[in-house]
Amino acid sequence: MLVLRKFARDTSGMVGLVIVLLTAVVAALAPRLAPHPLDAYESHPAERLQEPSRPHPLGTDNLGRDVLSRVILGARAALTIAVLVVAGAMLIGVPLGLVAGYHRGWVPEIIMRVTDVFLAVPQLILALALAQLLGPSLKNAMLALTLTYWPFFTRIVFAETRRIRVSVFVEALEGLNAGARRVMFLHILPNAAPPIIVRATIGMGFTILSAAVLGFLGMGATPPDPEWGLAISESRQYLPEAWWFATFPGIAIFLVVFGFNLLGDGLRDVVDPRLRRSR
């Protein structure tokens, strides 16, 4: 396909793809890759806050656990959260956007007004409030993120559907007397897919960041889970001496989110016809 060939030429997009694939592999094989897989939950007070060294390349934390191992194990948590939250948000948001964009009348009106309300508060703040009300736990954090992320998909799908709905080929299908469901799911949805995919890709990175913030503020993962945001939060009182404790989980977050963003950005350029021509 032309699109794939074009994407293959896009260096930064490919770098993003490689980072994302590597992260996926690391997450899948985390317990095998981590040098000290048991450090997820075991502590070794004797070895606390050791500088990076041969046995602990990234040092140890306040409980003597291997930072490298916990960073690797954290990848699994981060990716799981991202996939579940984005998938959940799409499951809610995409059909709503499709229905609101295709039909006219009060149902779309209500859907879009509710979406507006959700979008009027920054997602993170809403998620924080919701997570707090539901009670701090990883499960509730994910639920809060999902329940506040779907409007982004609704809005994109809505706009795309409105645009495609008035296109000539949809009118031609109406001339052939095609039904609403056929037009919506067989024609509009595939045509709206590229921006949805881009949004989902970037949304993965975004969700990893948000989840880390929730973890950092104590609204997400709970100790002793190996989660990056939580780890950085735990590290604060040991600064500036134990700099490695704070630094490496942050670099891990950066790398993974960077990978998703590069990938999404590359995909955007491929699917965005406006930027295809260069003058």
Binding residues with another protein: total (CB under 8 A): 67
Choose, by CB under 8 A, the member of 130, 157, 196, 270 that binds another protein: 130
Instruction: Decide if 123 contacts 85 (C-beta within 8 A).
Output: no
HEC per residue, the chain: CHHHHHHHHCHHHHHHHHHHHHHHHHHHCHHHHCCCHHHHCCCCHHHCCCCCCCCCCCCECCCCCEHHHHHHHHHHHHHHHHHHHHHHHHHHHHHHHHHHHHCCCHHHHHHHHHHHHHHHCCHHHHHHHHHHHHCCCHHHHHHHHHHHHHHHHHHHHHHHHHHHHCCHHHHHHHHCCCCHHHHHHHHHHHHHHHHHHHHHHHHHHHHHHHHHHHHHCCCCCCCCCCCHHHHHHHHHHHCCCCHHHHHHHHHHHHHHHHHHHHHHHHHHHHHCHHHCCCC
213 binds another protein (CB under 8 A): yes
Choose, by CB under 8 A, the member of 32, 54, 181, 274 that binds another protein: 274
224 binds another protein (CB under 8 A): no
Choose, by CB under 8 A, the member of 40, 232, 267, 270 that binds another protein: 232
| Least gap, CB of 146 to another protein (angstroms) | 15
| Least gap, CB of 230 to another protein (angstroms) | 11
279 binds another protein (CB under 8 A): yes
271 binds another protein (CB under 8 A): no
124 binds another protein (CB under 8 A): yes
**Sole window of 46-54, 63-71, 92-100, 255-263 interacting with another protein (rule: CB under 8 A):** 255-263
Nearer of residues 41 and 254 to another protein, judged by Cβ: 254
Choose, by CB under 8 A, the member of 31, 121, 139, 163 that binds another protein: 121
| Least gap, CB of 8 to another protein (angstroms) | 12
185 binds another protein (CB under 8 A): no
101 binds another protein (CB under 8 A): no
Selection from 201, 199, 200, 214 nearest residue 77 by Cα: 214
Between CA 87 and CA 77 the distance in angstroms is 15
Nearer of residues 68 and 112 to another protein, judged by Cβ: 112
Between CA 200 and CA 42 the distance in angstroms is 36
x/- map, 131-150, another protein, by CB under 8 A: -xxx----------------
| Interface ranges with another protein (CB under 8 A) | 12, 113-114, 116-118, 120-126, 128-130, 132-134, 167-169, 171-179, 182, 187, 190-191, 205, 209, 212-213, 216-219, 229, 232, 235-236, 239-240, 243, 246-247, 249-250, 253-254, 257-258, 260-262, 265, 274-275, 277-279
